[in-house]
Amino acid sequence: MKKKARVHMLPTEENSQIVLYAHRTNPFLVYHYTPINSPLSDVNQHLYFTTDEEIKEGDWYLDVLKTGFPTVHKCGNSLPFTAPKIIATTDPKLLVDFEGHEPYTGRDISAKVYLPQPSQDFIEEYCKAGGIDEVDVEYELITQTFDNLPDLMCPYSTAEYEQTTATRSILKVDLIHNTITTHRIVEKTYSISDIEAYCEKYSNDTELGREIRKLRYKQ
């Protein structure tokens, strides 16, 4: 399955693969295979992919209210106000807590890990296009089974013998390269004959009819 994600580009003083050559008659982006320190007249950039997913403690998000310019923050003990959640980035400073099991020994492990990042192909494509505002990002569905806790107030409760199954979507990540899978969103185009046919089918009194007529005015 896919979900839409916004792509934000923010300046950084650190080395990066994206450089905005701003002090030109026509500013442009350049992709570098390895992170570099740009000349003083130009600006290094990082990419941040955001969605409207629920923000939990330890998540990273963009705050645009405090300064009027997007800034990166990590959610503390209390949940922040509604904000774009960062799901992937080229910024290596954004670490998240990971807890799981070591596959061979079965030991419980906890560590700081990098947020997923876009592929090198996407970063290069982003620079060639002069920026990409929105993409589809691949997610996958997982099913988990939980044991119900027994009702301690009822010693004869059968809840302890029951289980609950839940399905949820998680970001699909290439575990070898720690990258997400993205797809460009292609805007559908309509011919004039298509628009005229839709105008006859849907009156101006409906919301769909009004939106269709907006397309006709753009032709």
Let me know whether 149 and 70 are in one domain.
yes
**pLDDT value at residue 108:** 75
Cα Rg, the chain, nearest whole Å: 23
DSSP string, 76-98: -SS--SS-PEEEEES-TT-EEEE
Let me know whether 182 and 193 are in one domain.
no
Model confidence at 216: pLDDT above 90: no
Could you tell me what percentage of the chain is helix, strand and coil, using 3-state DSSP and rounding each to the nearest 5?
Answer: 15, 40, 40
Instruction: Output the pTM of the full model.
Output: 0.75
Let me know whether 68 and 118 are in one domain.
yes
Average pLDDT, the chain: 80
Let me know whether 147 and 195 are in one domain.
no
Backbone angles phi, psi at 200, to 5 degrees: -70, -30
Categorize the per-residue pLDDT at 168 as very low, low, confident or very high, splitting at 50, 70 and 90: confident
Let me know whether 73 and 162 are in one domain.
yes
Longest dimension (CA), the chain: 79
What span, in angstroms and rounded, lies between the C-alpha atoms of 186 and 75? 33
Let me know whether 194 and 139 are in one domain.
no
Q: How many of the other CB atoms lie within 10 Å of CB of 13?
A: 9
Let me know whether 122 and 213 are in one domain.
no
Structural domain span for residue 112: 2-187
Question: pLDDT tens across 77-120, in order?
Answer: 666 567 899 999 999 999 988 776 666 666 777 778 899 999 99
**pLDDT value at residue 102:** 61
Let me know whether 62 and 79 are in one domain.
yes
Q: Looking at residues 156-172, what average pLDDT do you find?
A: 70
What total number of domains does the chain contain? Answer: 2
Half-sphere exposure of 52 (CA within 13 A, CB side): 3
Let me know whether 208 and 147 are in one domain.
no
